[in-house]
Homo-oligomer: A and B are copies of this chain.
Amino acid sequence: MTTAVESKLARAAALFHALSDETRLEIMEMLRGGERCVCELTDELEAAQSRLSFHLRVLKEAGLVTDRKEGRWSYYAIVPEALAGLHDVSVSLQPTTQRRELRKMGRCC
């Protein structure tokens, strides 16, 4: 749960933690194109169901994804706002001398 008094740094650390695992990054990669049900994820990632469920919960608690139930399926999807927040954090970490360099190098979005 995200408390109101959570510091910026704590929020950033939580975001980074959620993304610090290869399996979870693969999930995010799959969700980039739109929502998927868990069964699709387990199929494509060759991962045990309970393992996937664990990682999906981590991503969900970090606010990076949401889930939606329909019939017997659960669909997970990226929360675009959270990804925008990640981008903000990665920008705010840039050294002061480097910010406008990124734009010059055409490395920006």
Contacts and interface: CB of A to CB of B under 8 A. Distances in A.
Interface stretch (A36-44, A49-57, A68-76, A101-109): A101-109
Interface size class of chain A, counting residues whose CB lies under 8 Å from the partner chain? 35 or more
A47 interface: no
A9 B23 CA distance: 9
Interface string A22-40: 1001101101111000000
B28 A22 contact: no
A103 B87 CA distance: 11
B101 A87 contact: no
Interface in A70-109: 78, 80, 83-84, 86-91, 93-103, 105, 107-109
Nearest to A100: B109
Given A98-B84, A109-B91, A13 B9 contact: no
